[in-house]
Amino acid sequence: MPVTKLAHYSIRTTDLDKSRRFYTQVLGFREGFRPPFNFPGIWLYNGSDESEFGVVHIIGIAPNDPNGLVEYLGDKALPETGTGTVDHIAFLATGLQDLWATLRREGYEWRDRTVPSLGLHQVFVEDPSGVTIEMNFSAHEVPAPQHTAPAHTEV
């Protein structure tokens, strides 16, 4: 039984609206169908095809009534922020300069890296729950150096 592809990843959050905004307005996912589970949440899709059940599942933690979530997925301690034992989640993307503009407009800090041997430019940003998201672009999308300082720190 070989694994054929990643189905989705799920994030538990205490701020469903902030996570929704990050994944839809910053990363460009689309909110779509989600079964009527007995706990809050959203399913996010990459495009209009909902046949693959979403790429990102955001699980809302209802502090006043966690029973539905506990019954379905179990009771887990939620760290304040971070990825736990998962280091980061990566996506292939296009539109590097559009992402930079969106991150600036929305007030997110990020880190840029270029991997010349792969022809890849990476942007690392933390979602509202502290999960590190890696966006991968063709290195050809990186503009020629300018004389003005960037709005973020390049390491």
Q: What is the pLDDT of residue 152?
A: 63
**Helices and strands of the chain, counted as H and E runs:** 3, 8
Whether residue 115 is contained in a domain is answered as yes
Whether residue 43 is contained in a domain is answered as yes
Q: Are residues 86 and 50 in the same domain?
A: no
Average pLDDT over residues 40-59: 87
User: Above 50 in pLDDT, residue 142?
Assistant: yes
Of 48, 73, 98, the last residue of a domain is 73
Q: What is the pLDDT of residue 1?
A: 46
| 62 neighbors 107 (Cβ within 8 angstroms) | no
| C-alpha neighbours within 13 Å on the C-beta side of residue 149 | 4
Q: Are residues 51 and 95 in the same domain?
A: no
Q: How many domains does the chain have?
A: 2
Whether residue 4 is contained in a domain is answered as no
Long-range contacts of 30-34 (CB under 8 A, 24+ apart): none
Average pLDDT over residues 77-90: 70
Q: Are residues 99 and 145 in the same domain?
A: yes
Task: Tell which wins on pLDDT, 44 or 116.
Answer: 44
Structure tokens at 7: 């189905």
* Domain housing 106: 80-155
Q: What is the pLDDT of residue 108?
A: 96
User: Above 80 in pLDDT, residue 78?
Assistant: no
- Tell me the sheet residues that pair with 111: 124
Banded pLDDT at 98 (limits 50, 70, 90)? very high
pLDDT per residue as tens digits for the range 22-45 = 999 999 999 999 988 888 999 999
- CATH code of the domain containing 68: 3.30.720
Grouping H, G, I as helix, E, B as strand and the rest as coil, residue 68 is helix
User: Above 70 in pLDDT, residue 150?
Assistant: no
Whether residue 3 is contained in a domain is answered as no
Most confident among 53-67, 74-88, 96-110 (mean pLDDT):
96-110
Q: What is the pLDDT of residue 80?
A: 66
DSSP classification of residue 150:
P
Q: Label residues 62-101 b or e (16+ Cβ within 10 Å = b).
A: eeeeeeebeeeeeeeeeeeeebeeeeebeeebeebeebbe
